[in-house]
Homo-oligomer: A and B are copies of this chain.
Amino acid sequence: MIAGIDLGGTQVRVALAEDDGEIVHSDKTRTGLLKTPQAMVDWTAAAIHRRLGRKKLRAVAIGAPGPIDTTRGILSNPPNLPGWQNSPLERMLRDALGCPAHLENDANLAGVGEYHRGAGRGSRNMVYITWSTGVGGGLIVNGQLLSGSHGSAGEVGHMIIDPDGPLDGCGQRGCLEVFTGGRQMQAHTGESAAEIFAAAEEGDHEAKAIVDRAAYYMGLALINVTNLIDPDIIVIGGGVTRSWKLVAPTLEQVLRSSPFIRPERRPKIRRAALGDRAGQVGAVEWARLSL
């Protein structure tokens, strides 16, 4: 058997799967209840062992919020998990589960999940963008995750789109996240992204203008990743997929507005298919690929 873990700021999800990636059991809990990395590892190991029976666990992978150190298997400095700095998650999981453990960026593994089991199936080059409170991404090139030299590739949200734009929490000015992320939307309007999207769906003009502006900037990012990566498909996941009809037309329109990206090389834009299961599905695939 193999296992995949999706460690988020809000929830931890674990999935147990057959060697072919077929998930036979999954479980979740609130991250806040676990408090420490060791408690998370213990909860995960218990959840896996309860269902593993006499079968053998061959590999586990865990997706976690960056920045992480993939060469040493360490969660470096996750902004949404205060107190979890420098946790050697690979070693801790290996000790608790008795099998090889692999740490990767959460958005990268969600991209791996969508590529193998979701909206990206059958493509060769795929850009995955997760668009929620923050904006992240994962790049699949020739069927392989582009992890980069330090496990930090695919940081789509921190591409600078307008150097005179507002300051983002990352310390850069005018990066994609500051124009599109839900956290910044709330900081600028006082309302949560969920409230703004709901109002826009009900026809509120001001809310619609805020959503359109965010979608316009996301569209520019699609132009940029198309020019850099030349994917056949761009898959968009995260909270925004619940309001897909509100943003998809603008994304399509902005991408089409680039005369440089001619129709024959224009990638498809698709909504992610796995919802909030993308991370655990991707972690299972990642563990499977490590065998």
Contacts and interface: CB of A to CB of B under 8 A. Distances in A.
User: Which residue, of A151, A172, A230, has the highest number of chain B Cβ atoms within 10 A?
Assistant: A230
Contact of A228 (B151, B156, B264): B156
Contacts of A172: 223, 258-260
A94 to B, nearest CB: 24
Interface string A119-140: 0000011000000000000010
Interface in A129-183: 139, 141-142, 144, 146-156, 158-164, 170-172, 175
A33 interface: no
A67 to B, nearest CB: 7
A147 B265 CA distance: 13
Given A160-B220, A224-B224, A229 B146 contact: yes
Which 5 pairs across A and B sit closest by C-beta, in order of nearness?
A148-B230, A171-B259, A153-B230, A150-B265, A155-B227
Given A146-B229, A162-B163, 4 more contacts: A160-B223, A161-B161, A163-B220, A172-B258
